[in-house]
Amino acid sequence: MASVPSNPQKFAVQVQPSTIDGTGVFAAEPIPPYKKIGELRGESISVTEARRRARRQQRIMIVEVSEKRAIDASGSNDPMRFTNHSCSPNTVLRIRQGRVEFYALRAIASGEELTANYGETHHEGRLECRCGAPNCVGRL
């Protein structure tokens, strides 16, 4: 009998409209600093396929986890796939053993949108950043 994957969410979150971009994920309870919030899960694909898919999509929910593998969360039900970019993020995305995990960088209040700094993206500076942070770099 196959084992059922455990719920990767360690804290309650809600998906709702975002002022940053479209849909976001928000803390549904206070989250202490440095704690794992949850994971981004999806289809495991090659980096070549990930880059091909990224060229065709406006909203990219793909994370490269190694030189050869990527996770495409486009079809996932995990709420963390709605984590928007911010130049002043409150979470950090870490890749551990092929898993994409989100950790709180500081205490996060209930109702606060969860954000991460995407770093380099497939947009290659062509997409306007709308995070609104004072240190916003302007493009993704």
Inside any domain, residue 65: yes
pTM: 0.85
Inside any domain, residue 111: no
Rounded to whole angstroms, how far apart are CA atoms 38 and 54?
Answer: 23
Inside any domain, residue 90: no
Domains: count for the chain: 1
Q: Which domain holds residue 69?
A: 39-81+95-104
Strand ranges (E), the chain: 13-17, 23-27, 36-40, 43-46, 62-64, 69-72, 84-85, 91-96, 99-104, 115-116
Q: Considering only CA atoms, which of 7, 10, 16, 8 is closest in space to residue 83?
A: 16
Inside any domain, residue 138: no
What three-state secondary structure class fits 104? strand
Inside any domain, residue 74: yes
To the nearest 10°, the Cα dihedral for 116, 94, 46, 1?
-120
Inside any domain, residue 25: no
From first to last of its 140 residues, the chain has per-residue pLDDT tens of 444 456 778 999 999 999 998 999 999 999 999 999 999 999 999 999 988 888 776 667 888 888 899 999 988 888 999 999 999 999 999 999 888 999 999 999 999 999 999 876 555 666 788 888 999 988 77
Inside any domain, residue 123: no
